[in-house]
Every structure is written in structure tokens, then in C-alpha cells.
Amino acid sequence: MTATRIELASRRDFLGGLFSAGALLFAAGTIPADAFAATEVSKTTWNPNLWIGLNSDGSVIIVTHRSEMGTGIRTSLPMVVADEMEADWSRVRIEQALGDTKYGSQNTDGSCSIRDFYDIMRETGATARLMLQRAAAAQWNVPVSECKASVHQVIHTPSGKKLGYGELASAAARQPLPKKEEVVLKPASEFRYIGKGVPSYDLKAMCTGKGIYGYDAQVPGMVYASIERSPVLGGKMKTFDDSAALKVAGVKQTVVMESAQPPYGFQALGGVAVIADNTWAASQGRKKLKIEWETGPHAIFSSDTYKKEMIETASKPQRVVRSLGDVDASFGSAAKLVEASYYTPLLAHAPMEPPAALAHFRDGKVEIWTATQNPQAVLTTVSAALGIKPEDVICHVTLLGGGFGRKSKPDYVAEAAILSKKLGKPVKVSWTREEDIRFDYFHATSAMYFKAGLDAAGKPQSWLQRTVYPPIGSIFDAKEQYGTGELSLGFLDMPFDVPNMRAENGPAEAHLRIGWLRSVANIYHAFGIQSFIDELAHASGKDPVEYWLAALGEPRTIDLGKQNAKYGNYGKPIDAYPLDTGRLRRVVEVVAERSGWANKKPGNGRAWGFAAHRSFLTYVAAVVEVEVDKAGKVRIPRVDIAVDCGSVIHPDRVKSQFEGAAVFGTSVAMLGEITAADGRVQQDNFSTYPVARINESPYETHIHLVPSEGLPTGAGEPGVPPMAPAIANAIFAATGKRIRELPIRKTKLV
Amino acid sequence: MIRLNVNGKSRDYQGDPEMPLLWYLRDVLELTGSKFGCGMGLCGACTVHVNGEATRSCLTSMQSLAGKEIVTIEGLSPHGDHPLQLAWEHHNVPQCGYCQSGQIMQAAALLKTKPKPGDQEIDAAMQGNICRCGTYQRIRAAIKTAAGIEVKA
């Protein structure tokens, strides 16, 4: 057995023992887990057994239910528990939860882990702390108020007597669970870790090659599968010949997998799997398959034609999704009219680790090890695919080698499970990069149209915006051509104070699987809106930041309900997380000051661009410096990003998310494009789908966290949307070339 | 049969001579620290040292390795305390961590030939290694720290 196997086996044993018996926690385990069984997030608060284990040797186990794909969440949430519990971080071990609804949502997506679970983790830790204090008080026969918990021990303050957490474990476990109102959270002044941070729990493993990802999962007796899928979505196999494939050394057999039916959801796509002794043999065998496909209705899809159709749709009136005043009348009285259209292409996620899953079906149950953002979707998807109950699917979550939304769609996990059931042995499905890019759930392409009427002073008095994109909803309802979720991602919430405003949304049919990618529709909506406001500033001869702030208007909260808009606000109540233009203004002022915006003088191909955007309830403003050389090559020497994401739990990991978003946003702006012809995706690897490398990325990115005591909001995604427009606006300032289409590499700049 | 040395241990290989080293390391020896990212030498996630040189193991066939010495991330230092690994920890470089084995192996080869690399030398050496999380700024800082070059905050 290797280290890989031991780790997986021990994790399985631990979690199996822990959660099937439900009794290990607080050592003596007198709290029956069933007493606190709950499926709703709010109810899980009162189940410290679910989250914390304390052994008599003082070691603490904290369960984390969110997936680690690079945000550091596997560290940050347990760190919150440890802080409130007064546990010594060096004595904490983190265990990754299995997929299970008892944890509340595990879908690590939408930049919501901290904002949805911060309070619950605090209450959980504080509950454990109180139980330890009470146990000590009972032992000393003194009032609880005289017992203070501090760094893994309880101290009787009048006498100075101390009891370690390990010594108290068994007695604490027999304490009745405190009522919610009895639990007192720490004041911020007493935080040890919250707001300060600890090194990532997986740091050492990641620097020594010991971290286990989905691609690394191994169990004895497993075989490797590589699957040939229809090159066109929804294609069916007509004929196949595996004779050459079966001659490849190491290939054992082939398995025909049923084609998925629309809507595709998270279903396995189907195709022909080649089963082999190792990954290499499986992929070599797959290349030798001869398959004829009946390609079906999506074979008509060509991204060039489709682009023209989308731009045409965006040029015409469409359904109104937000309306204020009378835009058309106001256009008639404008001193100046400005129009612009923008286009963004399909994008692939391309996480460094392509999709991979290991499944072992036996005795009517299937055990899975995979890199997933959404283990509960694994349970539902796999159980539906195998015709078994969700509770008969056991999903172990490994580290994820990047996710960006791709790994919340467990089609690849269903593939491994289907094959394991057919073969009766453990099967690992490992996608190649080519499969990852060709069979992605693509970020939608979009076409947008804008028109503004300016008064004599250059201020916008009327504003029309249209957006067209194939909707994500099409993977769940094949007829869907509008999609409402996307509208709440940076479109309905256009923040400028324009008295006459109309937002429209046109239809587009999907021919590929469309899915959410880091910051989702905010990518194109921010590109359109933040480019257009820059165009208006230049049309009016004003400084872009000054013009932007003037257009934003006085600090206020925007009530989109009064403008007939159904705004989602990232699933959060608008009164608790309002659309606050004062906070948006503040990040703009901070980034302008920290970047030295007012003193910048463009020249010699060097210039600065600006954009600001609220997404995932977080306010972000960016200033990007570009240098465009005589050959038209773009360099990004510096990026400044100001962020207001409410209270910051782990500052270094928040900063790292925004540093990374600056690079991800650079890939989106400069490089990324998926195209298709005859329904077939034309890119397949980093040669044809380039992403930003070290020499193409911002040389230095400075993150300025705006102090806030507000509710924590999102951090993983909101850094991405301002990047493309800020880069494009900088390039305009440097070269006079207005970028209205991504990626920028397609525009000749000199 | 092909005899090679992996992390100081002599190994005999008798399988498909065209199989790339990466799959021998991962699937046969179960050394999963070297990662698959592209299979085309485009991303650097699979980088190991072959006779001391940074090499893309996804493109290096087993038949080319007779008598060669292979070092993977698992064998870079006995206790995971190579100056680069310590610098990586100091700067909290990894996000998802998947590409970092390859990044560290590439950087280790760089420092052998250029103990005090400048920005351009770092960019030139590291541009074959993709990090989709975008940790490049910290990678650059960590290489400088490991090389004893002062890094501005």
C-alpha cells in the first residue's frame, strides 16, 4: 500500500466509524447523533457533534463540508470554529466530510461558503467552548461565570486552577447541549485567528506532492477508463469497431455507454469506454476506436454564424427586464447619442486538474472518490444513473486541482459509477485535456447592445442595454432560450443613476452544454457596462473615474423592485445586503488613491484603465496599467484592486483570491475563446485554448481591502469581472483602439 | 527491460516502451505528486528532473530513460524542506496546489544553473508552467526568497 492508498483507506475508516455510529465526538459520545439530525442549514447549528470531535488526548477534529479548490475554505471555516472554541490551532485536525445533506449545502459555488456558514461555524465553536466551561465548573463546583476558556484549557479565574481540553473531553461530552440563547460569541477584540488567518492546512502537502486530488485516487484492483464521446452534443453511435483498440497492450475490454438524452443536466454523455491497466493504455486504446456518429440537430452549430445571429438579436427590441422613466422620449431630447455593441466568446474552465473520478460499486452501493465542488449532486446524479438510492452513494471529496464551476457538474463521476457497476470492480475515469476542453459546460458567449443619451454637460439622461446569451438553464430545460439567473449577475443591477433606463434580454438557443464559470454572466455584463461607461466618459471629454463617480450619483441603495426588475441578489435578502452605491463609490475612491490615478499621464504606449463592479455582494474596483509595444504586444506591469467584502475572515486568502482573479481575468480578456464548426468544438489543449502564463500575467497586483465590519460577502469570484473592461479601457487609453470584442488578442492594436 | 533510478531507488521496467514516464510514476510506482495537466508538454504540471534537468514527464517515453536518474517532487528533499519548498510555504504560494509540484521542480532546476535569477530569467524559465489559480506573483517572490534575493512587500 502506498501513501495514497493508506490515506484514502484511513479516511474512509474514520468517517465510516464517525458518522455511521455518530458517537465518537466529544470522546465519550453520549450525545446520540440522531437527536440532532437535521437537513437544514439553520438546524445544523445545534449539532456540534456534526462538526467537532475532541479526544481525551486533547486533539480536536473539525469536519469541513466545503470543497477545497484553492480558496482556502477547507482551512478558513475550521479556523472559525477553532477560534470560537478557543482551540489551539496546532492541535486541530481537519477531516473532509462525505457528501451528506445533514451538513446543509455543500455546493462550493457562488462565493458563498463564508457568507452562508460563518455564523454557524462561530456558534458551533462557541457551543463547544461553553460545554467545556460547564464541565470544568461542575468538576470544580464553581459558577460557570468564573471559568474562562483560553487556548485549549479552561481556567478558574479566581484560583488560577486549570484543566486541559483533553482532560475535560469526556465530561464535556456528557453536558447537555446548551440552548442557542445561552451561547455567547466572542467579541472581535478576542479573536485569535478570525481576521488574521492561519497557514492553509494543506500547505505542506501541496508543496511536497502529497496532496491527494481526484486524479490521484487509487484503490487496489482498480482499472482505468478512457471514453470516446460524440463530437457533437446529442450525437448517437451508428457503428463502432474496437478491434484495433483491443490490440493495444494493457487494454482489457471496451464498454458501450448509453447516450444521454436532453436535457443533459449532469448526466454522463455516453460513448465507448476503453478499459485498461493504466491511464496511458486506456487513452491509447481510445484513440484506436473507429466510431461513426449520427450527429443530430446540433451539427448545424457554427460559432461564426451564431455570433452574427446573436448580434442581430441584440440590435432589436427584446423583452424588457428593468424599466425606469421613458428612455425613447429622452433619447429624442439628448444633446448627444452614443451607441456600442460588445461581443464575448464561449469560454472553457480548463482547471489544471481535468475531471476525474474513481468509483467502486459493490453490494448495491457505490463508493466514490472524486474532485467535486458538489458532493450532494454526486449523490443525486449517481443514484439516478445507477437506479439506486442516494444514501447508497458514498462520496469522498478529495482536493480539487481547480474547479471554477466545472466540478460542480458531476457528469464525469456518473461515468465512473456506471462503468464500475457494469464491470463489478473499481473504475477510474480520468479525462484528458482534450476531453476537458471539448466536453466542457461552456461559459456562455454573449452579445450586448448599449445606447445612451447625454445632456449638454455629458451626463447620461437615458440608457438602454440589451443582453443575449445561451442560458445555463438550457442544460436543465432544453427549450430554455432566455434564462433569468444571468440577468441578476451584473445586468439588472447596473448601478448608474440615470433617470430613464431600460434593460432588455433577447433569446439564444444553446448547442453545447452551457454552465457557470467563475463569476458567470458578470464577466460579459461587466465587460459591456464598464466599457460603455468608459466610452461615454471619453465621448464627453471627461476623466473616466470622475465621470464614473458622477454617473453613479449620490450614495443610496437601489430598489430594483421599483423598476420592475426581479433581482436575485445572490440569494440573499436585499435589506441585509443592499445594492449600496456608497460602498461602490468607496472602493472606487480607494483604488484611485492607491493607484495614484489622478497623477497618471498616459504616453509611449503606457496607460491606465479603470472599472468597478459589484458581484457576489462584494464591491470591487480595479485600475490596470498596460504597456502596448510597437508590435502591439500588451504587458500588464501593475494592477490595483480595492475590495469591500464586508468583514474579512482570512485576509491572506482573500488577497490571494483577488490576485488570482487578476490573472484569471487577464486570460478572459486577452486569450480565451472557444469556437465551433459543424457542432464540433475547435479547441483542444493549451496550444489552441491559451491561458495566461507568468510572463503574460500582471507583474504585480496590489489588493487593498477596505476596512468593513459589514456581513462577510463573496471573495472567490468578484475579482474577475472588472478585469476585462479595465484592461480594455487601459488599451483604449494607450492606443485609441476601442475593444468591443473579446479576446483582445484578436484585435490588431497597432 | 529498462533499468532506471527513481528518487534514489533502482527500478526495472518491462511494460510498453512508449509509455510516458508520467504514467509509470503515477500508475505503477504510485508517486502521484507529478501531475497530469495536458499530455503535450504545454503546462509543466508533470515536471520532474531527468539527470538533473527539468523534464516534462508526460512526453518522455520509458524507452528513453535507460540508465537515467529521475527525481520527482517526492524525492526533491528528504523532509520536504528544500529552500524552494520552505519559500513556497513562507509566501503561502499554493491555491489549489495542483500545479505546484511542477512549478517547484522547474524552479529547482533554474536555481541550479542560475542561483540568483532576475525577473526575466524567472519568467523565461517558468513560462512553460501554467497556474490557472494565478499564483505567479507569489511564485516569483518565493523563487527570489529561496535564492536569497530580497523581496519587496
The CA distance from A677 to A689, in Å, is 16
A199 contacts on B by Cβ (under 8 Å): 89, 92
The CA distance from A526 to A720, in Å, is 10
Q: Do A659 and B19 touch (CB under 8 A)?
A: no
pLDDT at B105 over 50: yes
CB A494 within 8 A of CB A529: yes
Give the residue-averaged pLDDT of A614-626: 98
CB proximity A716 to B under 8 Å: no
User: Which of the four pLDDT bands, split at 50, 70 and 90, describes residue A50?
Assistant: confident
Residue A430, min C-alpha distance to chain B (Å): 10
Residue A374's nearest CA partner among A414, A423, A338 is A414
The CA distance from A506 to A483, in Å, is 10
Inter-CA distances, A528 with A522, A541, A721, B146, Å: 10, 20, 10, 43
CB proximity B134 to A under 8 Å: yes
Q: Do A68 and B42 touch (CB under 8 A)?
A: no
Asked whether the ipTM of the predicted complex exceeds the cut of 0.95, the reply is yes
B100 contacts on A by Cβ (under 8 Å): 206-207
- Flag the least confident range among A25-39, A599-613, A696-710, B28-42: A25-39
Within 8 A by CB and 6+ apart from A651, the residues are: A195, A196, A197, A705
DSSP codes, A600-656: ---BTTEEEEEEEEEETTEEEEEEEEEEE-TT--EEEEEEEEEEE-SS-S-HHHHHH
Q: Which residues share a beta bridge with A368? A: A359, A395
What part of B 36-55 touches A (C-beta under 8 Å)? 36-40, 42-43, 45
Q: For residue A253, which phi and psi values (nearest 5 degrees)?
A: -165, 175
Q: Which amino acid belongs to residue A338?
A: V
Q: What is the pLDDT of residue B153?
A: 64
Q: What is the pLDDT of residue A48?
A: 64
Reported as half-sphere exposure (CB side, CA atoms, 13 A), residue A284 has a value of: 18
User: Which of the four pLDDT bands, split at 50, 70 and 90, describes residue B137?
Assistant: very high
Element (H, E) at A266: none
Q: Do B20 and A205 touch (CB under 8 A)?
A: no
CB A627 within 8 A of CB A603: no
Q: Which residues share a beta bridge with A275? A: A225, A253
Give the residue-averaged pLDDT of A4-13: 34
CB A702 within 8 A of CB A662: no
Domains of chain A: 3-208 (3.30.365.10), 214-297+355-430 (3.30.365.10), 303-348+441-746 (3.30.365.10)
The CA distance from A451 to A462, in Å, is 8
Mean pLDDT of chain A: 93
Percentage of chain B lying above the pLDDT 90 cut: 97
pTM of the model: 0.95
pLDDT at A43 over 80: no
Q: Is A579 left (phi over 0), alpha (psi -120 to 50) or beta?
A: beta
Partner residue opposite B98 with nearest CB, options A4, A353, A700: A353
Q: Do A433 and B38 touch (CB under 8 A)?
A: yes
pLDDT at A480 over 60: yes
DSSP codes, A16-72: HHHHHH---TTTT--S-GGGG---SHHHHTT-HHHHEEE-TTS-EEEEE-S--SSS-
CB proximity B101 to A under 8 Å: yes
CB A463 within 8 A of CB A496: yes
Q: What is the pLDDT of residue B151?
A: 85
CB A184 within 8 A of CB A127: no
User: Which of the four pLDDT bands, split at 50, 70 and 90, describes residue A707?
Assistant: very high
Q: Which residues share a beta bridge with A506? A: A468
pLDDT at A36 over 90: no
Q: Which residues share a beta bridge with A149? A: A154
Q: Find, in chain B, the residue whose alpha carbon is nearest to that of A403.
A: B96
CB A495 within 8 A of CB A457: no
Q: Which residues share a beta bridge with A449? A: A341, A466
CB proximity A662 to B under 8 Å: yes
Q: What is the pLDDT of residue A37?
A: 29
Q: Find, in chain B, the residue whose alpha carbon is nearest to that of A349.
A: B132
DSSP codes, A373-411: S-HHHHHHHHHHHHTS-GGGEEEEE-B-S--TTGGGSTH
What part of A 444-473 touches B (C-beta under 8 Å)? none
Partner residue opposite A200 with nearest CB, options B92, B122, B132: B92
Of the candidate CATH numbers 3.40.190.290, 2.60.40.10, 1.10.150.120, 3.30.1330.20, the domain formed by B83-146 belongs to: 1.10.150.120
Q: Which of B25, B36, B122, B143 to mutate to test the interface with A (most CBs of A within 10 A)?
A: B36
Query: Based on the number of CB atoms within 10 Å of its own CB, is B12 exposed (0-12), middle (13-18) or buried (19 or more)?
Result: exposed
The CA distance from A285 to B16, in Å, is 13
In the numeric block, which cell numbers belong to residue A349? 474552465
Q: What is the pLDDT of residue A180?
A: 84
- Planar angle of CA A332, A335, A340, nearest 5 degrees: 80
pLDDT tens digits for A545-599? 999 999 999 999 999 999 999 999 999 999 999 999 999 999 999 999 999 999 9
Q: Which of A68, A694, A696 to mutate to test the interface with B (most CBs of B within 10 A)?
A: A694
pLDDT tens digits for A310-337? 999 999 999 999 999 999 999 999 999 9
Residue B102's nearest CA partner among B76, B66, B68, B137 is B76
Q: For residue A186, which phi and psi values (nearest 5 degrees)?
A: -65, 145
Q: What is the pLDDT of residue A14?
A: 35
CB proximity A638 to B under 8 Å: no
Partner residue opposite A399 with nearest CB, options B72, B97, B104: B97
Residue A2, min C-alpha distance to chain B (Å): 7
| Angle, helices A411-423/A375-386, rounded to nearest 10 degrees | 40
What part of B 69-88 touches A (C-beta under 8 Å)? 72-74, 76, 80, 85, 88
User: Which of the four pLDDT bands, split at 50, 70 and 90, describes residue A4?
Assistant: very low
Give the residue-averaged pLDDT of A446-452: 98
CB proximity A278 to B under 8 Å: yes
Inter-CA distances, A305 with A505, A515, A679, Å: 20, 21, 12
Partner residue opposite B98 with nearest CB, options A352, A662, A692: A352
Within 8 A by CB and 6+ apart from A323, the residues are: A501, A502, A503, A563, A564, A565
Q: What is the DSSP letter of A711?
A: P
Of the candidate CATH numbers 3.10.20.30, 1.10.760.10, 3.20.20.140, 1.10.10.60, the domain formed by B2-75 belongs to: 3.10.20.30
pLDDT at A729 over 60: yes
Residue B146, min C-alpha distance to chain A (Å): 14
A700 contacts on B by Cβ (under 8 Å): 137
Domain ranges, ordered by start, for chain B: 2-75, 83-146
The CA distance from A188 to A196, in Å, is 11
Q: Find, in chain B, the residue whose alpha carbon is nearest to that of A696.
A: B127
Give the residue-averaged pLDDT of A631-640: 98
- A-B interface: how many C-beta pairs under 8 angstroms? 197
Q: Do A280 and B80 touch (CB under 8 A)?
A: no
In the numeric block, which cell numbers belong to residue A295? 450527429
pLDDT at A39 over 80: no
Distance from the first to the final alpha carbon of chain A: 60
For residue A86, give the 3-state DSSP assignment: coil
A694 contacts on B by Cβ (under 8 Å): 122-123, 126-127, 129, 131, 136, 139-140
CB proximity A431 to B under 8 Å: no
The CA distance from A350 to A442, in Å, is 10
Q: Do A694 and B136 touch (CB under 8 A)?
A: yes
pLDDT tens digits for A63-107? 999 999 999 999 999 999 999 999 999 999 999 999 999 898 999
Rg (CA), chain A: 27
Q: Which amino acid belongs to residue A82?
A: A
